[in-house]
Amino acid sequence: MYDVKSKDANEFIDDAEVLASLEAAKKLSADKAEIDRILAKAQKYHGLTHREAAVLLEIQDEQTLNKMYEIAREMKETIYGKRIVLFAPLYLSSYCVNNCKYCGYKCQNDIARRRLSQEELREEVRALEAMGHKRLLLEAGEDDSNCPIEYILECINTIYSEKFKNGAIRRVNVDIAATTVENYGKLKDAGIGTYILFQETYHKPTYLAMHSGPKRNYEWHTEAMDRAMQGGIDDVGIGALYGLYDYRYETVALLMHAEHLEAAYGVGPHTISFPRLLPAEGVDYGSFQLVNDRDFKKIVAIIRLAVPYTGMILSTREGISFRRELLDIGISQMSAGSCVGVGGYAQKGGEQACETGETPQFYLADHRKPLDVLKWLVEDGYVPSYCTACYREGRTGDRFMPLAKSGQIGNFCSPNALLTFEEYLSDYGDDELRQMGRKLIDKEIANVPDEKRRAAATAYLARIRSGERDLRF
Ligand code: SF4
Ligand code: SF4
């Protein structure tokens, strides 16, 4: 039985409710007035229910799709302005006891496994810092013997303790296997930002077919965010791996997960990620339901409309020109210059995005180094942001959401984006980017909504240009 507040995964992601939503959507989508009503509701920026989102998933005609993209574009611009938050994944360990069918790290794959020593980790962090990164996402396979929680905590501590000429890593987000309330409490105490865990697929029979090993426990995995919240982590990030099962089912269930977190804990997900299946070592694509670009774009726009105040993250799996389209209609965060293997940043010296000499977890579609990604963003009028201010100012969970929902967050995001971008230009930019970037900053500072904040940001910018660092709102 569907119960949005239940702590049981089979009730808050009730299969019958997902199927009923999809069935009802087929009929409702034939009614133009109903589509217009839903799009008009979306334009008020109060979000959509999973049932309404299901109706939009049925849209096929180009005219209505374009209208929906236009609303998503306006919403993105109004709430998030021109900033795109940048981060880098950091792979700590490739040991894994699971055998997920879609992953290059599955235990059945005969690949060299290793985890970073603390000294190797310092080298990775040094290389990342030299690329300008301030926000990391730690990644590790599941293996309690080779990669226990104590190791993860030690790594977090090492990363935060490293200080460099131009500053330090300011925020560490973590993507590790579902764990206990007690361990989530330890991660919280270690000072993590967001805890991220992809559901992979919400369709239970597919989930069971895709997994073997401890991860095969569907309920344990699906209820992980409940335990994270109980352990004190109030910023959590969810996501489905598109391509494992029907994308309509995944999208409706993903939104039911978001509604559950909001109903049960008063805080919806801080972020939603959009990984899409790409080729990986030893993966047979026979049984998968890969999502084409057209449908994927539709999914991104619908989720933007359904949860206007949730950050949306795109990984380096997507190709360059398609990334541009997705940024336009909803994506607010992306990785730049990623390495998806253990020890890759120090190996490559930050010269370009890489898959390392070792077997990666998946293959990349965007191999540009951060400097080139930044130039590309600036050319399109986006402000690359290395902002980590909310987490460091205690604006998380239920202290963050009211600011986001009332639209006041723009008064934080926009100036913080400009300040952190100026830091990047001063410390890491080349002449070309400095010239392009400062022109953009001077233009965008005038768009900071609040007058006093605009004046304060202008003063901060001048202080950063004369050498001060880490000024923020
Ligand atoms: Fe291991 Fe995660 Fe890959 Fe599954 S997806 S095999 S748990 S690293
Ligand atoms: Fe994110 Fe807060 Fe910075 Fe905005 S101000 S980019 S929400 S950390």
The minimum-distance atom of ligand 1 relative to the CA of 103 is 3
Q: For residue 171, which atom of ligand 2 is closest to its CA? A: 8
What is the distance in A from the centroid of ligand 2 to the CA of 135? 12
| CB of 445 sitting under 6 A from ligand 1 | no
Write a three-state SS string for the chain: CCCCCCCCHHHHCCHHHHHHHHHHHHHHCCCHHHHHHHHHHHCCCCCCCHHHHHHHHCCCCHHHHHHHHHHHHHHHHHHHCCEEEEEEEEEEECCCCCCCCCCCCCCCCCCCCCECCHHHHHHHHHHHHHCCCCEEEEEECCCCCCCCHHHHHHHHHHHHHCCECCECCCEEEEECCCCCHHHHHHHHHCCCCCEECCCECCCHHHHHHHCCCHHHCHHHHHCHHHHHHHCCCCCEEEEECECCCCHHHHHHHHHHHHHHHHHHHCCCCCEEECCECCCCCCCCCCCCCCCCHHHHHHHHHHHHHHCCCCEEEECCCCCHHHHHHHHHHCCCEEECCCECCCCHHHHHCCCCCECCCCCCCCCCCCCCCHHHHHHHHHHCCCEEECCCHHHHCCCCHHHHHHHHHCCCCHHHHHHHHHHHHHHHHHHHCCHHHHHHHHHHHHHHHHHCCCHHHHHHHHHHHHHHHCCCCCCCC
Residues 6+ apart with CB under 8 A from 69: 297, 301, 329
List all residues 6 or more positions away from 238 whose beta carbon is below 8 Å from its beta carbon.
196, 197, 198, 199, 225, 254, 257, 258, 261, 269, 271, 272, 273
CA dist 156 to 167, 181, 225, 270, Å?
Answer: 16, 18, 20, 20
| 122 touches 162 (CB < 8 A) | yes
Query: Which ligand places an atom closest to the C-alpha of 395?
Result: 2
**Which has the closest alpha carbon to 95: 108, 80, 104, 107?**
107
Q: Could you tell me the distance, in angstroms and rounded to a whole number, from the CA of residue 105 to the centre of ligand 1? A: 6
Report whether residue 387 contacts ligand 2, using a CB cutoff of 6 Å. yes
- 71 contacts 43 by C-beta, under 8 angstroms: yes
- The CA 386 to ligand 2 mean position distance, Å, reads 9
377 lines ligand 2 (CB under 6 A): no
Residue 70, token pair as written in the block = 């236009």
* Position 335, amino acid: S
Q: Indicate whether residue 80 lines ligand 2 (CB < 6 A).
A: no
Q: Is 416 in the pocket of ligand 2 (CB under 6 A)?
A: yes
Regarding the beta carbon of 85 and ligand 2, being less than 6 Å apart is answered: yes
147 CA from centroid of ligand 1 (Å): 13
Q: How many whole angstroms from 424 Cα to the centroid of ligand 2?
A: 17
For residues 195 and 173, give the distance between their C-alpha atoms in angstroms, rounded to a whole number: 6
Q: Ligand 2: distance of its center to the CA of 182 in Å? A: 28
Half-sphere exposure of 374 (CA within 13 A, CB side): 30
Q: Which CATH superfamily is domain 81-368 in?
A: Aldolase class I (3.20.20.70)
Q: Give the pLDDT of the chain (473 residues) as one tens digit per residue.
A: 999 999 999 999 999 999 999 999 999 999 999 999 999 999 999 999 999 999 999 999 999 999 999 999 999 998 888 999 999 999 999 999 999 998 889 999 999 999 999 999 999 999 999 999 999 999 999 999 999 999 999 999 999 999 988 889 999 999 999 999 999 999 999 999 999 999 999 999 999 999 999 999 999 999 999 999 999 999 999 999 999 999 999 999 999 999 999 999 999 999 999 999 866 666 677 778 999 999 999 999 999 999 999 999 997 778 888 999 999 999 999 998 888 889 989 886 544 445 554 556 666 666 688 899 999 999 999 999 999 999 899 998 888 888 888 878 888 999 999 999 999 999 999 999 999 999 999 999 998 878 999 999 999 999 999 999 999 99
Residue of 85, 86, 419 best suited for mutating to test ligand 2, as the one with most atoms within 8 Å of CB: 85
Ligand 1 site, residue 105, Cβ cutoff 6 A: yes
Domain ranges across the chain: 15-77, 81-368, 396-465
Distance CA(302)–CA(56), nearest Å, equals 7
Q: Where does residue 472 rank: exposed (0-12), middle (13-18), buried (19+ CB within 10 A)?
A: middle
